[in-house]
Amino acid sequence: MDKFEKSISSTLQNDKLDFAANPAIRERLLYRMQLKTSQTVVHKNQFVPMFNRQFFATNVIWKIGVAAIILLSSIGYEHFIKTDGVIKVVDSTQSIGLTDSSTIQFNDTLNFN
Amino acid sequence: MMFRFKSRTYQQLSDEKLTIFISNGDVAAFNELYNRYNERILYYFYRMLWNDKELAQDFLQDLFMKIIDKLNTFNTDRKFSTWVFSIAHNMCKNEYRKRQIRALAALEPDVACDAFDDETAVYSALQIEDVFDCLNDLDELHRTAFLLKYREGLSIEAIGAVLDLPVGTVKSRLFYTRKKIQKDLIRKLQICQDC
């Protein structure tokens, strides 16, 4: 900026209007804002769109991917492996799973190894 | 009806972030944005619309109405000030058209830049009304570019975005406006001295 530019810039920036914005303008604008906000429709308890998103064919690849990750990660999940009534006998050479029938609940399936 | 807000937190937000709140219906965010811009926009309209106070007030209200209604068209990756001044500029342009006042002054193709021997006198004689007297002879693009640059401190690129003009054109318009003001002020000064 040369001298003249600086001078012009400071003159303009120091220039103040001898009037301000009418306060009624702010009130009208805020009222309008409130009206606009109140027109926004709030949808409560709308399950259909959620189910639609879940079961429609859109983004199938992503959905399959997520399902595959859940499935794969559940394979090694120990709670799904039935070990009720199986007592592990371990010695230095081998590990044998023995079934103790007294510890099996009646409705459990017997596993004989 | 009176609106009062605790605007402490909003003051720390950028204009662009405030617009996100406003588009979600946050009235307090709008109030903060209005506080930031109302004086700047009022000044712009006042100076662009023949120093007409009433018209400037009306345009200020219309502009903020547009902001409320069209905020969804604002891209938050852009600068809010650029967007606002683009709207303001378009409103002025429409007003000029409506009144069929296209003050396209007979612009000389280029100004022979005389050496301004009496530059210091020009600086001291620089009064705001003199500057605007000179500016009133120019078209709205020159005036807008000039105000945005020297009043609002916008960059050349931002002014280009507001006016939808290439950077080179903005530069040349600013250069031309500066030279014209310098020339007119010197002429005025000489007339005063002769008197």
Contact present, B170 and B145 (Cβ < 8 Å): yes
Q: Which pTM does this prediction carry?
A: 0.65
Question: Last residue of some domain: B53, B69, B98?
Answer: B98
- Token readout for A47 is 């399950």
Measure in Å the smallest separation between the Cα of A13 and chain B Cα atoms: 5
In a domain, B106, yes or no: no
Which residues on A lie below 8 Å from B150 (Cβ)? 5, 8-9, 12-13
> Do B127 and B92 reside in the same domain of the chain?
no
- Taken as a whole, chain B contains a residue count of 195
In a domain, B149, yes or no: yes
- Token readout for B123 is 């600086």
Q: Kindly report the CA angle at B63 between B57 and B68, in degrees rounded to 5?
A: 130
> Do B31 and B89 reside in the same domain of the chain?
yes
pLDDT tens readout for residues A76-95:
766 666 666 666 666 666 66
In a domain, B160, yes or no: yes
Mutating which of B58, B69, B120, B126 best tests the A interface, going by the most A Cβ atoms within 10 A? B126
Residue B59, domain CATH: 1.10.1740.10
Query: SS3 of A88, please?
Result: strand
Mutating which of A6, A7, A26 best tests the B interface, going by the most B Cβ atoms within 10 A? A26
- Token readout for B118 is 């009496």
Average pLDDT, 10 consecutive residues per value, chain B (195 residues): 60 90 89 94 92 94 94 88 94 85 46 44 62 83 90 91 92 91 81 65
What domain range includes position B30?
10-98
> Do B125 and B187 reside in the same domain of the chain?
yes
Residue B163, domain CATH: 1.10.10.10
Q: Which residue of A has its CA nearest to B58?
A: A25
In a domain, B103, yes or no: no
> Do B83 and B20 reside in the same domain of the chain?
yes
ipTM of the complex, rounded to two decimals: 0.74
> Do B44 and B123 reside in the same domain of the chain?
no
Which residues on B lie below 8 Å from A23 (Cβ)? none
Contact present, A81 and A72 (Cβ < 8 Å): no
> Do B93 and B143 reside in the same domain of the chain?
no
Cα B94 → chain centroid? 15
- Token readout for A20 is 């301000």
For chain B, how many structural domains are there in total?
Answer: 2
In a domain, B151, yes or no: yes
Query: Residues of chain A with pLDDT > 70: what percent?
Result: 60
In a domain, B5, yes or no: no
Where are the domains positioned within chain A? Answer: 48-78
Query: Residue B39 and residue A9: Cβ atoms within 8 Å?
Result: no
A93 in contact with chain B, both atoms CB, cutoff 8 A: no
For residue B167, the number of C-alpha atoms closer than 13 Å in the C-beta half-sphere is: 5
